[in-house]
Structure 1
Amino acid sequence: MSGLDSADVAAEHYRGMLMCRRFEETVHEQHDLGNVPGPLHLSIGQEAVAVGVCSSLTDTDVITSTHRGHHHCVAKGADLGRLMAELLGRRDGYSRGRNGSMHLADTSVGLLGTNGIVGGGIPIAVGAAFALQLRGSNDVAVCFFGDGATATGNFAEAMNIAGLWKLPIVFVCENNQFAEMTPTSVHVAGQLWRRADAHDFPGMRVQGTEVEIVADAAAAAIARARAGHGPTLLEVMTYRLSGHFVGDPSNRDSAMADRWRKRDPLTTARRVLPESQAAQIESEVEAAIQDALSRALKSEPVSVGDIA
């Protein structure tokens, strides 16, 4: 977003987060209507992470995502109609409707894929960063993962290689307070961001409810990677406002959930905009979402056994 003044940046941040939110709310509605085959993991509440980080990326920078990755896809510039069609099991989807939300990819915008394996995208991102380094590219890799993935061997191995070879990568941990239904207090020892110390590169924890804070931290980490100075680990503190998956009874602490709802990143971002500008953005986003849904619904459903 270089070249934009602060007011323009605030508007674009709100637009991006609202696009992520309305996309997922619409998919949720379609799920309730029986139009979404397979499981659905929503990232509602985490939009500031995706938009804040991706605001400093170009189409040729690459990202890897998770099973909860719709907001990453939208923020990185994936086609909304093809995303919607894929989730609805339609032929015009990214994988012709056969893979669903945990296997979304669009290399034309640097999206190397969502991933159904916890921590599965971490070594892919490191491999991509190594390739970028070997080519002498100015591009960077960003790896999104949840707090639960930090307990996998992939995480420690990838951090070690990235630090050793000073790869152009930013590790972004979306700490949404839960690994499935398990609180971080039960499964995380110590402070996640401090794990970068063991591999001799910077780590920091940032608040994930304000998109500007995320964007500033990500911009510095991405610039460091572009300059050849190696990785950064960002632990972004956020919260998913829905359960682990659609249909999860989500028996979580209600007081904690209420505190996070009051810090909804979209509410915070909207407050700084003039009412007329916010309303215009909302109208434009809604039109884009409805167009994506219309395109998806017009696409032919995939048939069982269809490999054409």
Structure 2
Amino acid sequence: MKKMLVAAVSRVLSGVAQKPASRVLVASCNYSNDATFEIKKCDIHRLEEGPPVTAVLTREDGLKYYKVMQTIRRMELKADQLYKQKFIRGFCHLCDGQEACYVGLEAGINPTDHIITSYRAHGFCYTRGLSVRSILAELTGRRGGCAKGKGGSMHMYSKNFYGGNGIVGAQGPLGGQIAEAYNMAALWKLPCVFICENNRYGMGTAIERASASTDYYKRVNFMPGLRVDGMDVLCVREATKFAANYCRSGKGPIVMELQTYRYHGHSMSDPGVSYRTREEIQSVRGKSDPIMLLKDKIVNSNLASVEELKEIDVEVRKEIDDAAQFATTDPEPALEEIAHHIYSDNPPFEVRGANQWVKYKSIS
């Protein structure tokens, strides 16, 4: 388990093409290599101390985090569009607004660590290594999807990522029935971080109306916990590093509550404004949007310019558009492949279809 970049950009500004080369002006801009930021102090439970209250962000990491968060945001907005155009059918749970959770978590662990999650998992799919093309193609049910077009929004998987699950709370039983999972993890001191993505609403009910106690990080009274600002990618990163190190040191499991916010409704059938006001959503967008907060940090600390970030935006939009084109033109899986990939490494066997006289061959 125990498994920088300095840049100077020169822009050439020339006048009329006929002007001699001696009239060319060169403007140089030197960016900072890194910057240190104060981050919100985490609330702690059964811990003597929590994660640090400062974090260093390098220019390289800042640009990487920004691009990944923008990619997730644009991918979800494109999924919204494809759903309304009826290219995506069935359930679709979007995670725009929660980008800092996925990027911060991935930045705080190792690629060899394992992640198990519920639905609303498109962001995890991307940070765990799946391409936008394979994610959107899975949403549209195409052969080029990450699950061969058979899983859809709620059943995507990749290496060390045990994907979304369609049943509420299904990610808990994958590691043991949730209360018993807490108990056994604590008894055996397992290196497990239990994470609550608290986006303030359970389907269409505000947490204050559904929970007698909204201190989710304290829910397991015999296990230490952290409550983290889930809108700040640096805060999530530092808290995740702290939690991972705690587990790797042999101290046992820990709970992390990430306070975040979802912009869309629970699913595409939920407009998301019958149980909350549009003003509330706009207030979050204007004050604590995770991409906006990171952008302000990068620009204000001279890690990059607004123009450079705009170039990333253009690059991301092109990637999303290209992926959407593929996701709407790639063929659907053939009917005879309906039983394929039930197991990953078993020899071929027959599977009975809806009609008992029809059988399909299952291959790995």
TM-score range, shorter chain: 0.7 to 0.9
Residues of 2 paired with 1:102 and 1:305: CA distance? 23
Partner of 1:111: 161
- Is the counterpart of residue 48 in structure 1 residue 100 in structure 2? yes
Partner of 1:248: 270
- The amino acid across from 1:272 in the alignment is K
Q: Which has the higher contact order (CA 8 A, sep 6+)?
A: 1
When Rg is computed on C-alpha atoms for both structures, the one with the higher figure is 2
- Is the counterpart of residue 166 in structure 1 residue 189 in structure 2? yes
Partner of 1:180: 203
Partner of 1:271: 296
Partner of 1:299: 330
TM-score by length of 1: 0.83
Structure richer in strand, relative to its length: 2
Shift of the 298–253 alpha-carbon distance from structure 1 to 2, 3 Å rule, reads closer
Q: Any conservation in 1 of the 2:92–2:268 contact (CA below 8 Å)? A: yes
* Superposition RMSD in Å: 1.9
Per-residue deviation, 1:166: 1.1
- Is the counterpart of residue 194 in structure 1 residue 246 in structure 2? no
Give the stretch that moved more between structures: 52-61 or 290-299. Answer: 290-299
Per-residue deviation, 1:278: 1.0
Q: SS state of the match for residue 227, structure 1?
A: helix
TM-score by length of 2: 0.71
- Structure 1, residues 60-110: CA drift from partner, whole Å, max 9, x if none? 211112121111111222122211111111011122212201111112xx1
Q: SS state of the match for residue 244, structure 1?
A: coil
Per-residue deviation, 1:206: 1.1
Partner of 1:90: 142
Structure richer in helix, relative to its length: 1
Map 1:84-163 onto structure 2 (within 5 A).
Answer: 84-107=136-159, 110-124=160-174, 126=175, 154-163=177-186
Partner of 1:210: 232
Residues of 2 paired with 1:252 and 1:264: CA distance? 20
Per-residue deviation, 1:303: 5.4
Residues of 1 paired with 2:181 and 2:135: CA distance? 29
Per-residue deviation, 1:306: 5.0
Residues of 2 paired with 1:304 and 1:239: CA distance? 40
Shift of the 285–236 alpha-carbon distance from structure 1 to 2, 3 Å rule, reads same
- Is the counterpart of residue 288 in structure 1 residue 319 in structure 2? yes
Residues of 2 paired with 1:166 and 1:11: CA distance? 37
Give the stretch that moved more between structures: 30-39 or 279-288. Answer: 279-288
Q: Which runs of 5+ in 2 are unaligned?
A: 6-33, 35-56, 299-304, 341-364
Residues of 2 paired with 1:79 and 1:225: CA distance? 30
Q: SS state of the match for residue 106, structure 1?
A: coil
- Structure 1, residues 3-57: CA drift from partner, whole Å, max 9, x if none? 6752322222211211111111111111111101211111111111111111123
Q: Which runs of 5+ in 1 are unaligned?
A: 128-153
Q: SS state of the match for residue 173, structure 1?
A: strand
Residues of 1 paired with 2:245 and 2:270: CA distance? 39
Per-residue deviation, 1:305: 7.2
Q: SS state of the match for residue 94, structure 2?
A: coil
Q: SS state of the match for residue 282, structure 2?
A: helix
Residues of 2 paired with 1:95 and 1:74: CA distance? 14
Q: Any conservation in 1 of the 2:93–2:119 contact (CA below 8 Å)? A: yes
Partner of 1:36: 88
What is the number of equivalent residue pairs in this alignment?
A: 275
